[in-house]
Amino acid sequence: MSRIASIRAKVWNWTGPTVPPQSNFCTNASDVLHEHGDAMSSFRFHQWLTCEVEADTGEVGLGNAALAPPLVKHAIDQYYAPLIVGADPFDYAYLWEKMYRRTLAWGRKGVGMTAISAVDIAIWDLMGKLTGKPVFKLLGGRTKARIPVYYSKLYADTVEAMQAEAQQAVDAGYSAMKSRFGFGPKDGMAGMRENLKRVAALREVIGYERDLMLEAYMGWNLDYSRRMLPKLVPYEPRWLEEPVIADDLHGYAQLNAGPIPISGGEHECTLFGFRQLLDLEAVGVVQYDTNRVGGITAAQKINALAEAYQVPVIPHAGQAHNYHLTMANMNCPMSEYFPVHDIEIGNELFYYIFDGDPAAHDGFLDLSDDTPGLGISISDEHLEHFEIQE
Ligand SMILES: [Mg+2]
């Protein structure tokens, strides 16, 4: 039996070049604030966290998280690591419950659950390495020849720029893509017209044989959404994502009763959080993010629950931990995919920190049947552009 010998959490601060911020490239929850400042600061983050769980045999499992990395590192170092050092990593269900219950008063959501997620992902990577199996083979195995992915970028820009980007995605073979709205309640009726003009322009380019998803990143509210939805129906979106803030469960439920499926869950945590969303019929697509929701252990339970409700699960973000769950579950029809590009929002950092995350070709990607664990490792290619806090 192997035991967990040590846990190391590191914060990766990007110091390399970034794409300058543009205004109105995506609505977000800060839009409602009177003092705007950097209204996109809740959206843009240029830090990541890695979590290494080392066994006494020398094998190292690698987990990660992207929310509030300095706080998450502190939580792991001070609270979570001492709870599980010395344990058998294959007792993952018990270890998850121990981390959850010992920090329940403050750890249920947000920073605490993000820390649990990073540790749990590392434990699953470690179990894969110790057994010589890819993680998806430990979760349910291969359910698809390849994973269909949707192109996820198309931030609001000029109509011409968005059409050119959509054409590039079509040319690259994607049969589904997601765009972000740039205008919300503060922009009034004129902003509604700007939003609709862009959706129409995208449909002009991609036609109606490809899926178009639309995303508001919690930058609308219930009233605005109820006015916008009927106007969007003719453009046949596959879903409308996070129209309202994550805590407005009843708002989600009201909107999801309409003709456009509402998606959400990237800011929700644990089986209990998703039970509420599903009980209320608040979402037509579940979009947990494995490195926030409680890791692979929690995500797998949510997969089972969502399947019973016949609500598909399409995890937020690409990235190895989400792909392995998508591959292993019949109820996960596709994955999100952030195309590789310069550091702009921050989700691109994954490609700069890790080697081995699969690239999409013709709208699909695949996982190796032979690579143990999650199949990613720390890259040394961009180390000069990171300040690493150990
Ligand atoms: Mg989203």
Give distance in angstroms: CA of 89 to centre of ligand 1: 32
- Mean pLDDT (whole number) for 206-226: 97
Inform me whether the pLDDT recorded for 115 exceeds 90: yes
Is 34 annotated in the active site?
Answer: no
Give distance in angstroms: CA of 367 to centre of ligand 1: 23
pLDDT digits (tens, 9 = 90+) for 41-63: 667 789 999 999 999 999 999 99
Give distance in angstroms: CA of 176 to centre of ligand 1: 15
Give distance in angstroms: CA of 317 to centre of ligand 1: 8
pLDDT digits (tens, 9 = 90+) for 74-96: 999 999 999 999 999 999 999 99
Q: What is the pLDDT of residue 33?
A: 87
Give distance in angstroms: CA of 389 to centre of ligand 1: 28
Q: What is the pLDDT of residue 25?
A: 86
Q: What is the pLDDT of residue 346?
A: 85
Asked if 314 and 287 touch (Cβ cutoff 8 Å), the reply is yes
Q: Which domains does the chain have, with CATH numbers?
A: 4-132 (3.30.390.10), 138-380 (3.20.20.120)
Percent of the chain with pLDDT over 70: 98
Structure tokens at 163: 């059409």
Q: What is the pLDDT of residue 172?
A: 98
Mean confidence (pLDDT) of the chain: 96
Q: What is the pLDDT of residue 37?
A: 64
Give distance in angstroms: CA of 264 to centre of ligand 1: 7
- Determine whether 118 is exposed, middle or buried from the number of CB atoms within 10 Å of its CB (0-12, 13-18, 19+): buried
| Single-letter amino acid code for the residue at 170 | V
* Catalytic residue of the set 36, 74, 267, 316: 316
Inform me whether the pLDDT recorded for 71 exceeds 80: yes
| Distant-in-sequence, close-in-space partners of 171: CB < 8 Å, separation ≥ 6 | none
Which residue is associated with the tokens 């270890």? 95
3-class SS at 328?
A: helix
What is the value of pTM for the model shown? 0.97
Give distance in angstroms: CA of 149 to centre of ligand 1: 15
CA separation, residue 101 to residues 13, 57, 329 (Å): 31, 28, 27
Nearest Cα to Cα of residue 60 among 387, 374, 386: 374
**What is the spatial distance between Cα 208 and Cα 20, in angstroms, rounded to a whole number?**
33
pLDDT digits (tens, 9 = 90+) for 368-385: 999 999 999 999 999 999
Q: What is the pLDDT of residue 340?
A: 77
pLDDT digits (tens, 9 = 90+) for 124-140: 999 999 999 999 999 99
